[in-house]
Amino acid sequence: MFRNVFRRGQSRVVATVAVTLLALSGVFCTALVQAKSPVTNSQETIAVSQLPAQGQAMMTLIYQGGPFKFDKDGTVFGNRERFLPARQRGYYREYTVQTPGERSRGARRIVCGGEMPAAPDACFYTNDHYASFRQVVR
């Protein structure tokens, strides 16, 4: 008889602990997602004239349709982090903004979106390898 009472009491304790842990994990996960959210304001802009010289040159090449130095330039940018406005896959393309003295492609990019790569609807500049973006205004 005491065994059944103990088991019932133990079950309640286990259930209470489980519910508490579940609630805490929800709070923790929400905080983690918010911490990973972009800290940039989608309204932040940068004029073409404010881009580094290599960025200005890349903007010219984008509107000319190339030629581009790196094979990766002009390839589809997935926007997996969803820092840019949501669009269908294939809408965004990425381009390297060379960093003087850097042997690899470096961290700077221009990502442009539109149906026609040489006539993009919008372009965005990142100097921190996609961690933040500023819309390029002409």
The catalytic residue positions are: 94, 129
Q: DSSP character for 129? A: T
DSSP letter for 73, please: T
Tell me the Ramachandran region of residue 129: left when phi exceeds 0, alpha when psi lies from -120 to 50, beta otherwise: left
CA-closest candidate to residue 39, choices 102, 138, 132, 126: 132
Q: Is 63 exposed, middle or buried (0-12, 13-18, 19+ CB in 10 A)?
A: middle
For residue 124, the cross-strand partners are: 111, 135
- Residues facing residue 108 across a β-bridge: none
